[in-house]
Amino acid sequence: MNFKYKWKNGSMPSRDQAARSQYLLDEEQFHNEQDRNLAEEHARKHLGVPTRIPDDDRSILPQAAPNGSEDGINQL
């Protein structure tokens, strides 16, 4: 089976690389973000790698307190 898009670094990534990378395909071949996202999803299916979700870039660790308190608890 042949894949119709150009891979990001000129060759198909391994499954491990694909799972860790945000983008697998060369961005110059797309005219808009929607086309790129559809092609990226197709590429992940082609490689057998799970598709990315919007939360993939968010940290799973708790965030620091917004007001600068050291213990992370807002005091009244």
User: For 28-41, how does the pLDDT look when each residue is reduced to its tens digit (9 = 90+)?
Assistant: 999 999 999 899 99
Boundaries of every domain in the chain: 15-56
26 pLDDT tier (thresholds 50, 70, 90): very high
Checking if the pLDDT of 52 tops 90, the result is: no
- Sign of the dihedral defined by the CA atoms of residues 60, 62, 67, 70, in that order: negative
Give the pLDDT confidence score for residue 6 in this predicted structure: 92
Nearest-angstrom CA–CA distance, 8 and 49 = 16
Sign of CA dihedral 17, 23, 28, 34: positive
- 24 falls in which pLDDT band (50, 70, 90)? very high
Q: Which pLDDT score, from 0 to 100, does residue 50 have?
A: 84
Distance CA 25, CA 8 (A): 4
**What would the two tokens of residue 8 be?**
């990001």
